[in-house]
Amino acid sequence: MPAPFSPSLTGTSLEGHVVMVTGAASGIGRECTQWLSERGAHVALMDRDESALAALRDKVAVSGGDVLPAPADVTDQAAVVAAVDDMVRRWGGVHGLLNCAGITGTTGIRSHEVELQDFENVMRVNLHGAFVVGSAVIPTMLQQGYGRVVHIASISGKEGNPGMAAYSTSKAALIGLVKVQGKEYAEDGITVNAISPAVVQTPMVAQLPPQQVDYMTSRIPMRRCCTLFEVAEMAGWILSPAASFTTGFTFDLSGGRATY
């Protein structure tokens, strides 16, 4: 039976919280996993890369962290539900979801040049996957009367990046989903929010054409990339009990590029 909401779940402490992180094997997901573990959270690690998850588990274990690898594709509903069931059995509930899983697809070309299959694949991972993992954790959160859902969106979902039709569209749709679900669960103790980074130096960004990265960075008033630690710090606060009166919102993490 899921653990009921406790009044002790207050402030910014994440000690003893149970959080699922998707896309945990690299980039933002990996950084946030380590950040959460260092602060006493129990973390279920979801990713398709089993070997990378095992390596991350071993690294976290060295410092005494408690993690549970959950090898799965976020678009595989049965596998995602099974992973959530495993974490609930192990830790008694689920307090948070941090959805970092995402792909860019083909970039650097105009929309009419994008293959339909590529467009659909990006939408499947970035949007459908977010819907699947959110739908898997929310029933337990409803029983608890408490939950925090955070999706990693993108500044491209607000503004649209030329040469990134599929990615920008998927992130815009994700922001729309967050607005809907934030309202739907506002009276249930569950918040649903997103983070909208500009350019974060991750393996995914490193694979983009240099001209694409130059274009995105040139639009940031701070004239630098966001760091992985900065993403983890913001995500950690939104996942905490302290972030109790904001839902359906997309938090800016763009170095001043988005001021709305």
Tens-binned pLDDT, residue by residue, of the chain (260 aa): 444 555 456 789 999 999 999 999 999 999 999 999 999 999 999 999 999 999 999 999 998 999 999 999 999 999 999 999 999 999 999 999 999 999 999 998 999 999 999 999 999 999 999 999 999 999 999 999 999 999 999 999 999 989 999 999 999 999 999 999 999 999 999 999 999 998 888 777 777 788 878 887 888 999 888 999 999 999 999 999 999 999 999 999 999 988 76
CA-nearest of 110, 45, 42 to 80 is 45
- The C-alpha atoms of residue 85 and residue 70 are separated, in whole angstroms, by 11
User: Does 8 fall in a domain?
Assistant: no
User: Does 113 fall in a domain?
Assistant: yes
User: Does 6 fall in a domain?
Assistant: no
Structural domain range at position 237: 18-253
Residue ranges in the chain assigned as alpha helix (H): 27-38, 50-62, 77-91, 116-123, 129-144, 155-159, 165-184, 203-206, 210-218, 228-239
Taking CA atoms, 58 is separated from 23, 54, 66, 69, 122, in Å, by 17, 6, 10, 10, 31
- The C-alpha atoms of residue 22 and residue 81 are separated, in whole angstroms, by 13
CA-nearest of 26, 24, 17 to 205 is 26
- The C-alpha atoms of residue 238 and residue 58 are separated, in whole angstroms, by 27
User: Does 133 fall in a domain?
Assistant: yes
Q: What is the CATH number of the domain that holds 191?
A: 3.40.50.720
Cβ pair 253, 198 in contact under 8 A: yes
User: Does 11 fall in a domain?
Assistant: no
**Could you tell me the two tokens for 58?**
């071993």
Task: Please tell me whether residue 7 adopts helix, strand or coil conformation.
Answer: coil
φ and ψ of 140, to 5 deg: -65, -40
**Count of domains for the chain:** 1
User: Does 259 fall in a domain?
Assistant: no
Model confidence, pTM:
0.93
Q: What angle do CA 248, 251, 252 make, to 5 degrees?
A: 150
- The C-alpha atoms of residue 119 and residue 127 are separated, in whole angstroms, by 12
User: Does 258 fall in a domain?
Assistant: no
Encoded amino acid at 72, one letter: A
Please identify every residue annotated as catalytic: 167
User: Does 137 fall in a domain?
Assistant: yes
- Please give the biggest Cα pair distance in the chain: 54
DSSP per-residue codes, 141-160: HHHHT-EEEEEE--HHHHH-
